[in-house]
Structure 1
């Protein structure tokens, strides 16, 4: 017996379900009535029962009705005599038998909206079998051998009428469903949205599916106006009323024809399933569309993957060997785990490419807490979401903080007391920093000083600074600001040479990171998908490259081993990245990986060096010496340091110039600081008289400006 609570719960559940289904329009009034009457919670089941009963009734009426339509033709040919009542009974039995066979064959589990040729064949077989039994019984009841021919003819006629009637019912339902929207709305979707004219380029079956979908969906925003088919599809003139205007290479002609008709397409929709069109053909169509000022939408990769076919390569997942022709750096985890496990760590720039990968790899070593610090709310949201999905047990602290503000930075350190700090926050895009020197110094120099000073103040064990090969003999502001950050970290590290408990300040330097935001590989991928050309600044420009994973492994491996082995202070660690790679060679390799031929299918254009950009990058500064390293795959560099009091005062002066917005003075001071370690005499002179450094003719102070 149901308790009142059970009844109340059932009524509430039924009401909730009915409300949801009613809002979507998928529950009929009769099914709701049955559900309310019998108290059945899954009310949607009644719709299936009612639909099945309705379809079976219609088929029953079709079989019986077509027979009674034949009676006027039966009586002149066959003497029915006293078998009319029996004949009626047989007809009703035949109707029931036909419906039962259709049910047992599973035909009623198929939707009329998707009636296919296979459904029609199955229906015809079952109808023919049932009517053959029925008319055999009729002939046996009459018992006249002479009527056999007439009975067979009438049975065949009955089958044709019955089959036709049942097919018309099903196809009518489908026709109503697929009544072209454009014939009703005049090219405008039913919700008033203007439909975009598109040309479909791909095989006939694929184009047919797109056309049927756009015609049947009221909310479809595309209006196919023409189709271009591969030669293998043969001479097809139209597909569901949409004209076929030739092959993919006829795109310019097709656009011209449609423009004359006032139906110029806005987009070319390409079937990119790596089966029907090659990468070369797709690139050719994309190039033609670009020349015509028409956008391109590529669809179909998922189908190729689903069918197990070789689709176009995913450039995001290509290995280092594929792109650079060398083996990837391998992580040795023992030293890292010893330094990280159970410790609170902080990552600045956690929302960026390097910072995000740092957080992901650090989580695998189970620190007690990872503090994610960034000034980008969206970046923090993304990395927090990923880490909580992949490492649900990891303790995370999210800090929306700008490293330019020393008060905010100290507040974060006061709250979390990190043991190790990974400083990845920086402005890194060469042309942008070159055009905004004050902003570059504010983040890359003053922000680095704020973080490093907090490490000292709150007694963290170590700070690991992420640097770049652009800091070596820099010519642009981005490299110069990163070099000053290196020099400040080096000075702090050397200050603790006689104190074993003093924090370590380590700098890790590497080259361009494949796949990071603004790097060349994502740009080349975007340009490849757009049909080219690939843009390179100079034919001879070359860079050192590494993957994001390699960069982070270098940071973790070198810093952990340095802490474990107590390596000498003041050194910079550099990954052995092999030989530099010409950017134009990388572009050609990516084009070939994509199945195309450089300068044939996809062009490469040269745009000229950007402001602050070098033709060649180096791993070691002119003032640095390469030292032996106990860490496999890693070099160490030592250089002449700048005494901490002097570089501190220089950065304070930079801070004043940044506050005043003196771009020219900021440039001069920053670049001059990077040259000091190169000359011991020059450095000694500035150490002797700090005023000479700030009153030099090479730049003016804020007071003098």
Structure 2
């Protein structure tokens, strides 16, 4: 049976069947007009009439290529073409009879126009029924009979929803049965579209029971609206599973693949309306430039690479230590942007000799510094490595940017640098202070007797600060997903812990925009939206998986990890913000630091770091950043000693 289903009828057989139907319909209509008086019919010119009609019909159908379509995929458009072909054949035949056969040959023994009228309705109906019947049989056998299918509702009652309905109905798998459309437009509610009822979205709870609905299908684009998100949240609470469908322009070859229908992810619910940036300004800032991205194999760094590449840089230099991710990123970029030059540079940002050779070889115009250690508990246990990479690595790259006259140096920082409670956040704050002091030195705001370079350049040093990004390596969401797949428990550190979240693409968009508008010395703060309670996030992810929290999957609390705090902040208490032309970006006003003082502190910190005396290293970090108060950490004793 499968072999037969995968084959299609030859085109000449389809054409033959169509002509048999056309000829039979004409003959039946002829007999009806003659009231089935066969002797009179045969004495007349029946054979001439039907022979000529068959010839005209054959030429018309062949010219319009009615026989070339696959019957199993017949649509409304195919039916329209059939009606058109039958109409053209009938009108052509009527004109031929009236202008040539009857007057020239004197053959006019029947009301041929009435025959054509009856024949038109009979043949067009039969041709349509054959195609619809063949399509129904194909789908029936393809789906293995009338097996149980998932009953679903489609969110929305518009043209895209109708396209989705048709795609699902013609799918080979026959996985879904469309139980109805959902809409909030009162003009559509309680009406039928393509024989499918439209219900109000507020009736979802009633419909869940009445229609035995398993799932709701939602276009992914719709999730960016607050109204749609509220509806989806309600579905999740009711236990109605939500599936997302990509926009129609992303359907493969115009056909929706069942593999493109995905379970709703928590990232979909956390997305906000798309961020609009001034692409022209970003483009003019990056086009034709030599751009360096450190940490290019990481979550943020790789997205910076993707977005910068779209602006047509002269050369994109990607630096990281991770060989395999770099290789994958290189293949991806070569496939998407075959004409753009890209250089992969494997190296450790704390290796000044290696970094110097990179700057000397490629002489970048713009640097996006995303390389850093970022995991709080891990850095709490390895503070010397956090200082080495996040402080010394940043200092090395920033100094080289001055040496090689880089136009802009954009550092990717974190909200954990604000009132830090851990080593990682403090190391990033020290890096922020250092590059700000360099920028102040360039602008003559502070003294710089210890500056190692004779000629001070006009490099602009800019910091961007934001919170957690969705889907980044090691973030909480992939961790929860793995725990749910294993059957739980889902572990949360504390019932009150909250975090800010932003998608990786929108974070990078704002980084590029901030880099463009920056004049040097600013710390740009991104609007992260509303903070999210992590336990609510965990429970919602369990529900999205079709399970019940604390029944199917337990949620347990493990206690705050070393260095972790309940609430993240984007600003120190002493900092003020200034709005920019972009509503999602603000500038933090912070005090200026003397370059000489900062260098003295960092030099001492690096000397202590060489001793590997972690207590002395962290003590010095607390002296540099007085607001650093350890939480849930072995370094809390230092706060007691220093107070």
Look up the match of 1:638: 593
| CA distance in structure 2 between the partners assigned to 1:81 and 1:367 by the alignment | 84
1:656–1:611 Cα change, 3 Å = farther
Partner of 2:91: 129
Q: Contact 1:179 / 1:215 at 8 angstroms: preserved in 2?
A: no
Aligned residue number for residue 253 of structure 2: none
What is the distance in 2 between the residues matched to 1:481 and 1:299?
A: 43
Q: How does 1:130-169 map to 2 (within 5 A)?
A: 132=94, 161-169=122-130
Q: Please give the alpha-carbon distance, in whole angstroms, between the structure 2 residues aligned to 1:272 and 1:646.
A: 51
Aligned length: 527
**Greater displacement, 115-124 / 461-470:** 461-470
1:481 maps to 2:416: no
Q: Which residue of 1 aligns with 2:255?
A: none
Deviations 1:224-273 (A, max 9, x none): 36224444345468977x8x5943211112223455xxxx51x3113578
Change (3 A) 1:434 1:640: farther
What CA deviation, in whole Å up to 9, does each residue of 1:130-156 have, x standing for no partner?
A: 5646887998899899x757x777666
- Supply the distance in 1 between the matched residues of 2:105 and 2:181 (Cα, whole angstroms): 62
CA contact (8 A) 1:510 1:575 kept: yes
Q: Which deviations, in whole Å up to 9, do the C-alpha atoms of 1:428-474 show, x marking residues without a partner?
A: 86xx4267424565245445425646898999546857375965775
The counterpart of 1:550, out of the listed 503, 507, 513, is 513
Cα distance change, pair 135–229 in 1 and its aligned pair in 2 (3 A): farther
Q: What whole-Å deviation, never above 9, does each CA across 1:80-128 have from its counterpart, x for those lacking one? A: 49855x5323321221122223445564566544253533532442354
Q: Could you say which residue in structure 2 is the equivalent of 1:690?
A: none
- Give the match's secondary structure for 1:392: coil
Q: What does residue 134 of structure 2 align with?
A: 173
Structure 1 stretches lacking a partner, 5+ long: 1-21, 29-49, 188-194, 305-312, 321-327, 524-534, 540-544, 559-572, 587-607, 622-631, 678-694, 700-705
The answer to whether the 8 A contact 1:353-1:517 is kept is no
Matched, 1:201 2:158: no
CA 1:508/1:293 → structure 2, altered by over 3 Å: closer, same or farther? farther
Deviation for aligned residue 1:205: 6.6
SS of the equivalent of 2:140 reads coil
Whether 2:291 is the aligned partner of 1:348: answer no
Cα distance 1:217–1:508, how it changes in 2: closer, same or farther (>3 A)?
Answer: same
TM-score, scaled relative to structure 1: 0.55
Structure 2 equivalent of residue 296 of structure 1: 242
| 1:186 matched to 2:136 | no
Deviation at 1:413, TM superposition (A): 4.2
Q: 1:134 to 1:290 in 2, by over 3 A?
A: same
Tell me the residue number matched to 2:264: none
Q: Does 1:433 align with 2:376?
A: yes
Which secondary structure state, in structure 2, belongs to the residue aligned with residue 232 of structure 1?
Answer: coil
CA contact (8 A) 1:514 1:548 kept: no
Partners in 2 of 1:536 and 1:297 — Cα distance? 29
Trace 1:607-646 onto structure 2 (pairs within 5 A).
610-611=565-566, 613-614=568-569, 616-617=571-572, 637-639=592-594, 641-642=596-597
* Counterpart residue number, 1:216: 170
Conserved in 2, the CA contact under 8 Å of 1:178 and 1:212? Answer: no
- Change in 2 beyond 3 A, CA 1:391/1:634: farther
CA distance in 2 between partners of 1:130 and 1:384 (Å): 60
2:319 to 333, 355, 372: 372
2-side partners of 1:488 and 1:92: how far apart? 94
Q: Distance in 1 between matches of 2:355 and 2:150?
A: 51
**Aligned-pair CA distance for 1:652:** 4.2
CA distance in 1 between counterparts of 2:199 and 2:69 reads 37
Q: Does 1:574 find its partner at 2:522?
A: yes
* Match in the other structure for 1:46: none
Higher helix share: 1
Task: Tell me if structure 2 keeps the 8 A contact 1:198–1:224.
Answer: yes
Contact persistence 1:347–1:359 (CA under 8 A) = no
CA contact (8 A) 1:372 1:380 kept: no
Q: 1:285 to 1:224 in 2, by over 3 A?
A: farther
SS at match of 2:209: helix
- SS of the equivalent of 2:625 reads helix
Moved more, 131-140 or 415-424: 131-140
Residues 375-419 of structure 1 deviation map (CA, whole Å, 9 limit, x = unaligned): 48536744784488558353x331344446x4xx64454476455
What TM-score results when the alignment is normalised by the length of structure 2?
A: 0.60
Shift in Å at residue 184 of structure 1? 1.2
Cα distance in 2 for residues equivalent to 1:486 and 1:144: 100
Which residue of structure 1 aligns with residue 606 of structure 2? Answer: 651
The aligned residue for residue 247 of structure 1 is 200
Q: Deviations over 1:555-605 (max 9, x none)?
A: 7x64xxxxxxxxxxxxxx22688xx9796699xxxxxxxxxxxxxxxxxxx
**By how many angstroms is 1:360 displaced?**
6.7
Q: How far apart are 1:371 and its partner, in Å?
A: 5.0
Q: Partners of 1:576 and 1:650 in 2: how far apart?
A: 27
Q: Tell me the distance in 1 between the aligned counterparts of 2:216 and 2:28.
A: 54
Whether the aligned pair in 2 keeps the contact of 1:359 and 1:370 (CA below 8 Å) is no
Q: Map 1:577-588; keep pairs closer than 5 Å.
A: none
1:38 corresponds in structure 2 to none
Partner of 1:315: 273
**8 A contact 2:349–2:396 mirrored in 1:** no
User: What is the DSSP-based 3-state SS (H/G/I as helix, E as strand, rest coil) of the residue aligned with 2:231?
Assistant: helix
Contact map agreement 2:57 2:89 (CA 8 A) in 1: yes
Q: Does 1:512 align with 2:473?
A: no
Per-residue CA deviations over 1:46-90 (Å, capped at 9, x if unaligned) read xxxx61x43443333334445666898759747649855x53233
Summarize the Cα distance change of 1:122–1:469 in structure 2 as closer, same or farther, 3 Å threshold. closer
Match of 1:114 in 2: 74
Q: Which deviations, in whole Å up to 9, do the C-alpha atoms of 1:527-580 show, x marking residues without a partner?
A: xxxxxxxx99699xxxxx99312332367x64xxxxxxxxxxxxxx22688xx9
TM-aligned CA distance change 1:373 to 1:502, over 3 Å: farther
Matching of residue 449 in structure 1 with residue 423 in structure 2: no
CA RMSD, Structure 1 to Structure 2 (Å):
6.2
Distance 1:371-1:365 versus aligned 2 partners, 3 A rule: same
Equivalent-residue separation in structure 2 for 1:181 and 1:501 (angstroms)? 78
Deviation per residue, 1:21-43 (Å, 9 max, x gap): x9x97799xxxxxxxxxxxxxxx
SS in 1 for 2:512: helix
Larger radius of gyration: 1
Give 1:29-48 correspondences, 5 Å limit: none
Return the structure number with greater relative CO, CA threshold 8 A, min gap 6: 2
2:52 corresponds in structure 1 to 93
Shift of 1:510: 3.3
Deviation at 1:292, TM superposition (A): 1.2
Q: Deviations over 1:646-695 (max 9, x none)?
A: 7445334345548xxx6x76544421343499xxxxxxxxxxxxxxxxx9
